[in-house]
Amino acid sequence: MRKKTKPLKKNNNTSRKQITACRENSKKSTGPRDMSATRLNATKHGMVSVLIKNENKPEFESLYTSLHEDLQPYGSLEEELFNDVVFGFWRLRRGRLAEVAMIREQPMSMHSQDGEIVFEDYSIQTILKYENSARRQVSKMLGLFYETQALRLNKEDASGT
């Protein structure tokens, strides 16, 4: 059963001066007027993009072609799953390259804390987080791809094509 709420007081003691001040303050705190300052807030590191501006497109195409020859997707479902596998591998590669670049430019000092290795630079943790995410994506999508491909091949074998 719904709980009864108290009715609002009709005799509001807020003065006109307070109401005016609140309205003026709310105009100041409704967010940025110029969106150019905040439009890139969501693109913090680019680790999850498909292809970043400075990346080597021929290397991506080579990876795509090579994996296409290895996996031989057939049909739209297998192609979609295949694309997820390729993008996952590319993101994993990007994470590895970012990690290597960071290590070369700023050697990390590591120390053991209760048996765990702790990186003192938090940005390496971000890179490792996305590497692990890409690794899980590859594993999951590759598994789905193989399952789908096996179902198709079994179906083809059963029908004799």
**Number of folded domains in the chain?**
1
pLDDT in tens, 64-108: 999 999 999 999 999 999 999 999 998 888 888 777 777 776 544
| Domain annotation covers residue 25 | no
Domain with 118 in it: 57-159
| Domain annotation covers residue 86 | yes
Dihedral sign for Cα 35, 36, 38, 40, please. Answer: positive
State the pTM of this model: 0.58
3-state secondary structure of 149: helix
| Domain annotation covers residue 122 | yes
| Domain annotation covers residue 15 | no
pLDDT in tens, 98-148: 777 777 765 444 444 444 444 445 477 778 888 898 899 999 999 999 999
Backbone phi and psi for residue 147, each to the nearest 5 degrees, phi listed first = -60, -45
Measure the CA–CA gap between 116 and 97, rounded to whole angstroms: 23
| Domain annotation covers residue 98 | yes
| Domain annotation covers residue 150 | yes
| Domain annotation covers residue 47 | no
> What CATH number has the domain bearing residue 140?
1.10.287
